[in-house]
């Protein structure tokens, strides 16, 4: 991957965007979490406001799952404070108002979908009706199926349904669409949007940039246990200024770099990729100088580019092995 040298220093000094106001539904305040020598979270603060869909975006080992586990009261912070609905997350009153979809490697397979839902509903004082859960998680026709007989995507949908059993105000979705095909992923996205439309707060962790782009009202980019920046998807995309010109040309990279507003030039197989603030003038110049130029494309910076640029700030080696994240 090559587009990572884009403005690393600007990324670091970016101000967090103006967050919505009001009483946060949940917050991590200056939370540090260490596992032995390993620092999973390093003074991270995160506020979730009612009705928001916040995407926690970052590479593997960035600390996303650790943040979720802290908010669920499954682990306690080394330093800093964690509040959910203004309470300790271990408080059972807080737990009745949240729902979680976690990365579970295996779910008891010998219970039917209907039974799993019935069981989880019984954990909550004011559960959603079972039929409602089946409808929201699109499990119609699967109620009598043993969990072990479901496909990967269907299993994820059951876990999504279980997260909603208690009619929660705050929903945590930890990598919800892992292992799903495109169709089920899109249908889950619709459901997440519907949750948010009904006033629920959603925290989503993902490393699918498209997912964060499609769903989030606010994206928080984390890397190495720190918040690198946050903002709306559009704001995050604007962190990488300019658009990308891709074409096959005889022109020298050194010359291209000298053209006005060009920020970066990269070779991509036989083509060259130029990032520039004003691609129109750059393209005009290039076409004049190289009549043989072909395969021209101009595109807006994708969220992926912004993401790579942001998370690569600490090192200029995007392919460096991600810091391994210990599990409990």
Binding residues for other proteins, per CB under 8 A? Answer: 35, 69, 72-75, 92, 95-96, 98, 100, 102-108, 110-111, 115, 118-120, 122-126, 159, 162, 166, 328
The backbone region for 261, taken as left when phi is positive above 0, alpha when psi lies in -120 to 50, beta otherwise, is left
Residue 133: CB minimum distance to other proteins, A = 14
- Among candidates 148, 210, 163, 181, which has minimal Cα distance to 68? 163
Residue 197: CB minimum distance to other proteins, A = 21
Cα(70)–Cα(77) distance, integer angstroms:
7
**End-to-end CA distance of the chain, in Å?**
32
Q: Measured from the CB atom, is 69 or 237 closer to other proteins?
A: 69
Q: Measured from the CB atom, is 10 or 145 closer to other proteins?
A: 145
Cα(104)–Cα(327) distance, integer angstroms:
13
Cα(226)–Cα(43) distance, integer angstroms:
7
Q: Measured from the CB atom, is 105 or 317 closer to other proteins?
A: 105
- Among candidates 224, 169, 220, 173, which has minimal Cα distance to 198? 169
114, two tokens: 């209907």
Q: Measured from the CB atom, is 144 or 183 closer to other proteins?
A: 144
Residue 87: CB minimum distance to other proteins, A = 11
Residue 311: CB minimum distance to other proteins, A = 26
Cα(134)–Cα(165) distance, integer angstroms:
10
Triad 293, 298, 300: Cα angle to 5° = 160
- Give the CB-side neighbour count of residue 1, counting CA atoms within 13 A: 17
Residue 238: CB minimum distance to other proteins, A = 36
Cα(283)–Cα(274) distance, integer angstroms:
10
Cα(66)–Cα(184) distance, integer angstroms:
26
Q: Measured from the CB atom, is 92 or 324 closer to other proteins?
A: 92
Residue 325: CB minimum distance to other proteins, A = 13
Residue 9: CB minimum distance to other proteins, A = 36
Residue 112: CB minimum distance to other proteins, A = 9
CB neighbours of residue 40 within 10 Å: 26
Residue 124: CB minimum distance to other proteins, A = 6
Q: Measured from the CB atom, is 4 or 96 closer to other proteins?
A: 96
Cα(193)–Cα(187) distance, integer angstroms:
10
Q: Measured from the CB atom, is 158 or 192 closer to other proteins?
A: 158
CA dihedral (199, 80, 313, 16) in degrees, to 10, reads: 40
Q: Measured from the CB atom, is 115 or 290 closer to other proteins?
A: 115
Q: Measured from the CB atom, is 101 or 265 closer to other proteins?
A: 101
How far is the CA of 16 from the CAs of 128, 229, 230, 282, 302, in angstroms? Answer: 36, 6, 5, 32, 20
């Amino acid at each position: 991957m090559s587009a990572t040298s884009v403005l690393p220093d600007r990324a670091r000094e970016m101000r967090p965007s103006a967050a919505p106001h009001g009483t946060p539904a949940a917050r991590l305040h200056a939370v540090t979490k260490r596992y032995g020598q390993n620092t999973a979270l390093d003074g991270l603060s995160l506020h979730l406001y009612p009705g928001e869909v916040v995407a926690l975006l970052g590479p593997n080992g960035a600390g996303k799952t650790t943040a979720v586990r802290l908010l669920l009261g499954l682990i306690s912070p080394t330093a800093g404070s964690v509040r959910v609905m203004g309470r300790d997350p271990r408080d059972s009153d807080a737990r009745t108002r949240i729902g979680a979809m976690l990365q579970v490697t295996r779910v008891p397979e010998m219970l039917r979908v209907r039974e799993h839902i019935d069981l989880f509903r019984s954990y909550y004082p004011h559960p959603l009706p079972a039929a409602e859960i089946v409808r929201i998680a699109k499990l119609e026709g699967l109620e009598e199926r043993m969990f072990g007989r479901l496909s990967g995507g269907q299993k994820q949908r059951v876990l999504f349904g279980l997260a909603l059993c208690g009619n929660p105000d705050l929903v945590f979705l930890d990598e919800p669409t892992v292992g799903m095909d495109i169709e089920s992923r899109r249908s889950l996205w619709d459901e997440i949007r519907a949750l948010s439309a009904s006033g629920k707060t959603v925290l989503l962790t993902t490393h699918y940039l498209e997912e964060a782009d499609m769903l989030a009202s606010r994206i928080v980019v984390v890397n190495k246990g720190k918040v690198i920046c946050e903002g709306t998807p559009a704001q995050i995309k604007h962190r990488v200024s300019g658009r990308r010109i891709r074409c096959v040309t005889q022109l020298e990279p050194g010359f291209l770099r000298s053209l006005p507003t060009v920020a970066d030039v990269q070779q991509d197989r036989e083509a060259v990729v130029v990032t520039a603030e004003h691609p129109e003038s750059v393209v005009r110049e290039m076409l004049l100088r190289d009549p043989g130029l072909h395969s021209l494309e101009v595109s807006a910076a994708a969220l992926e580019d912004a993401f790579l640029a942001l998370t690569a700030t600490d090192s200029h080696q995007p392919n460096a092995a991600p810091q391994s994240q210990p599990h409990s």
